[in-house]
Amino acid sequence: MRLSTITCLIAPAFLSSVNALTSFEYLQITKNFADAFMPSNSSDLVADLNAKSALFAEDVRGSVDIVGNIDGRQYSTDFLFGLFLGAAQNPSVPSPVGIPISYNVTAAAVEHNTVSAGIKFELEYPILNTTYPIELEVFLTINDQKEITQYDLIFRRWAWATDTIIPQLTPYMAKMLGMSNDNSTLTLHQFMAFASCTQTMTYCKDGSAQYSTIAECLASASALPTGEFYRVGENNLACRAVHASMLQLNPATYCPAMSASGGSFCVERDYTTTIREDHFTQGFLAPKYVTPENKKLVQDIWASSDVKQLSALLDVSMSGQDVHSWDPTFYATMTFVYFVFYYFFAKATDFMFGRFNNAYQELPRELQKNVTMYFMTIVFTAIALALQLVGSPGFKGEWYYWEFRCVRLAGVLTVALYLFELIFRFNMRLPLVAHHILTIFAISLGVTTNEYTQNPTFMLSGIIWLFQATTEQPTFIGLMGYRLKWKKETVALILKISSIQTFVFKAASALALLVYWGLHQNFNYNSIDLVWSVFVWIIAIGLFITQIWGSYVTYIIGVNILKKRPGPPIRLESNDSSNIDLEKGQDEGSEQSSGTVTPVEVPTLGYDGKLMVDKSFAMSKTISSSGSTAVDG
Ligand SMILES: *[C@@H]1O[C@H](CO)[C@@H](O)[C@H](O)[C@H]1NC(C)=O
Ligand SMILES: *[C@@H]1O[C@H](CO)[C@@H](O)[C@H](O)[C@H]1NC(C)=O
Ligand SMILES: *[C@@H]1O[C@H](CO)[C@@H](O)[C@H](O)[C@H]1NC(C)=O
Ligand SMILES: *[C@@H]1O[C@H](CO)[C@@H](O)[C@H](O)[C@H]1NC(C)=O
């Protein structure tokens, strides 16, 4: 599986140097973030916590509604994940903070580098032998190194949660302190003073010491208000209680929070100032790429009552998600790269045949083009076939994005090849032109339908259908052999077998396509479903008819090759105006049992597109003489 993934993605990845994260990766990082809250089974909780700091950028800016601003990688890690450390280490203490044991991401929207998610955590309260849910609303921005650069966390309905949970804990607090349980306000106050001071005396020693005795600490703490659990960044006991868990991580930094003044952590805050403050450099509305070049332009983008219209830059920045393959202004970078690649591949093929194959050298230019095209078709349809098979686990209901990419790549290689052939060879027969154009249309429709409906069954239809185009290699090997004057018995055999093989494969593919449609796609939710239903029949039947004809032609060529029917010699003019007596050349060759082309057989060469050899040559001569005008037309 891994290997096939790599194989499949290597071509595009090799050529595309843009290393942007996908929406899926942003979501994955969001999950990693939620995972970091889960309890660790590691014996070294502190080391484990430090490993989690890799989630954040060094200069991360954060804000938590119930606390305040939390900036920097270390403080963010210590606060967000250390908050739950105390409860996990001392399950018998009736801590108001529970232990997160599971979560579900219940909402998520990814736009560019910004994620907005709702995460419901289940918090365990061992002493109550129960769990309570809490919901976290999360806004994140993430950089290309997969680090969180900004986070804005909102504890949703947290006041309600603490109103519900804490009264259940106070009897246990009273019990632990040896108090009577008749005044819960008092109990809570005493308990938090006691809990904070116990931790302070344990971890804040020597240089970090805040008090010389626990009595001194309790006296100081008791003078503080209990505070509210939804305002734990202020100068109260609630603030000290949540910071107590972090003392063990870095006493020098966090012990000042436990002092009477609260250090820089537990301070007086003003509601109005706090809400009006604009803490984030980018906001959660800005474009995907904030680069040194556009930073000035984009950092102040927001929607406001001051302006009637949204910023045009927002339109630009959000457009990335609305550009689809069916958009006529979409620049399909890689498709054009494939064309350029085919161009050079054709040149190289022509050069190699011209250099090393005598039969090829003797062919007129138009037929050389045909042979080049046969060769390219064999190579690239084989690659497309491999890609299709890689995508086939979908038939078992195993969906992976790389399967879609493999099948799409198979489609784009085939379409680009056919289009290239239409341009490369002027004189293709009408049925073959129709076949190619229908194929291009069919693949485009399949990709578009899949993209629009996000229904994976359309990918499977694509796989079934692509067999039409990707199982023709034997035919082209036969035709190539025919042109390159291989042993005529061999060529005849290949052509006869391949005519039967293609007929069987194509009949099976067309039938399977219709059966699959009947089983899985015979519905009508969107207008595109109707379009698909109509065209699946047209495509299946239309292409099958051209294929019956193709197989028949292949078979006839195979049969005729062995018939000795010398016709009158025809003289042909090639593009370079030197006269080649084709018939004479073949008379010589026929003695060594190479393929013989007679005027009777030539018209049947459907795949060559050369109904009449002399007529075609007249045509190519016209084209070459009229130069670029004919090509442009
Ligand atoms: C922690 O759990 C994971 C998965 O359950 C396990 O692979 C790992 O060995 C455990 N580590 C310790 C220290 O128990
Ligand atoms: C997550 O969702 C599952 C299925 O709905 C549910 O059983 C579970 O309790 C949920 N867990 C949390 C933490 O919400
Ligand atoms: C905890 O609750 C479960 C069911 O909710 C119960 O089976 C179990 O005995 C309880 N444990 C204790 C220690 O009360
Ligand atoms: C409970 O204790 C608080 C603080 O000591 C006090 O203000 C309040 O009056 C007490 N309430 C009752 C009902 O005794």
**Centre of ligand 1 from the C-alpha of residue 41, in Å:** 6
Ligand 4 centroid–CA 71 distance in Å is 38
Structurally, how many domains does the chain consist of? 4
* Residues 18-36 pLDDT 10s: 567 888 889 999 999 999 9
Ligand located closest to 225 CA = 4
DSSP assignment letter at 240:
H
pTM for this model (two decimals): 0.75
Note the Cα 159 to chain centre separation in Å.
Answer: 40
Per the domain annotation, does 316 fall within a domain? Answer: no
Nearest CA to ligand 4 atom 2: 186
Answer whether 47 contacts ligand 1 (Cβ < 6 A). no
- 448/526 same-domain check: yes
The reply to whether ligand 2 has any atom less than 6 angstroms from the CB of 106 is: no
For residue range 173-220, what is the model confidence (pLDDT) as tens digits? 999 999 888 899 999 999 999 999 999 999 999 888 999 999 999 999
If one residue of 173, 181, 186, 191 were mutated to test the ligand 4 pocket, choosing by the most ligand atoms within 8 A of its CB, it would be 186
Residues 388 and 249 in one domain: no
Residue 582 lies in a domain: yes
pLDDT, tens digit, 9 for 90 and up, residues 337-354: 999 999 999 999 999 999
Supply the residue whose CA is at minimum distance from atom 3 of ligand 2. 104
DSSP 356-391: H-HHHHHS-HHHHHHHHHHHHHHHHHHHHHHHHHHT
- What is the enclosing helix (H) or strand (E) of 74? helix 73-82
Q: Is 358 in the pocket of ligand 1 (CB under 6 A)?
A: no
What is d(CA 346, CA 416) in angstroms, rounded to the nearest whole number? 13
Same-domain check for residues 509 and 382? yes
Residue nearest to atom 10 of ligand 2 (CA): 104
Phi, psi of 100 (to 5 degrees): -65, 125
Q: What is the pLDDT of residues 470-523, one digit of tens each?
A: 999 999 999 999 999 999 899 999 999 999 999 999 999 999 999 999 998 888
Closest ligand 1 atom to residue 40 Cα is: 1
Q: Is residue 509, in this structure, part of any structural domain at all?
A: yes
Kindly state whether residues 499 and 621 are assigned to the same domain: no
Residue nearest to atom 5 of ligand 1 (CA): 41
Q: Flag whether 38 is in a domain.
A: yes
122 C-beta closer than 6 A to ligand 2: yes
- Co-location of 494 and 612 in the same domain: no
Q: Select from 253, 280, 300 the last residue of a domain.
A: 300
456 or 255, which is more confident? 255
Q: Which of 570, 588, 581 is nearest to 364 (CA)?
A: 581
Q: Based on the domain organization, do 467 and 598 belong to the same domain?
A: no
Q: Distance (Å, rounded) from C-alpha 529 to C-alpha 397? A: 21
Same domain, 550 and 405: yes
Lowest average pLDDT, out of 290-304, 315-329, 437-451, goes to 290-304
Q: Report, as an integer, the average pLDDT of 72-99.
A: 90
The helix, strand and coil proportions of the chain, stated in percent and rounded to the nearest 5, come to 60, 10, 30
What per-residue confidence (pLDDT) applies to 399? 82
- Span 64-86, average pLDDT: 92
Is the per-residue pLDDT at 466 higher than 70?
A: yes
Range of the domain at 120: 17-156+270-300
Q: What are phi and psi of 141, to 5 degrees?
A: -120, 145
Q: Identify which has the larger pLDDT, 549 or 229.
A: 229
Question: Is 183 contained in some domain?
Answer: yes
Task: Judge if 449 and 338 occupy the same domain.
Answer: yes
185 falls within a domain: yes
Cβ contacts of residue 341 below 8 Å, gap of 6+?
A: none
What distance in Å separates the CA atoms of residue 348 and residue 340, rounded to the nearest whole number? 12
- Average pLDDT (283-294) is 69
Phi and psi torsions of 278, nearest 5°:
-110, 95
Residue 48 CB-density burial (10 A; 0-12 exposed, 13-18 middle, 19+ buried)? middle
State the distance from the centre of ligand 4 to the C-alpha of 398, rounded, in angstroms: 63
CA pair distance 342, 437, nearest whole angstrom: 18
pLDDT for the residue 289? 64
Alpha carbon nearest to ligand 2 atom 13, residue: 103
Ligand nearest to the CA of 226: 4
Q: Is the pLDDT of residue 324 over 60?
A: yes
Query: Pairing relation of β-strands 130-142 and 148-156?
Result: antiparallel
Domain boundary among 502, 528, 561: 561
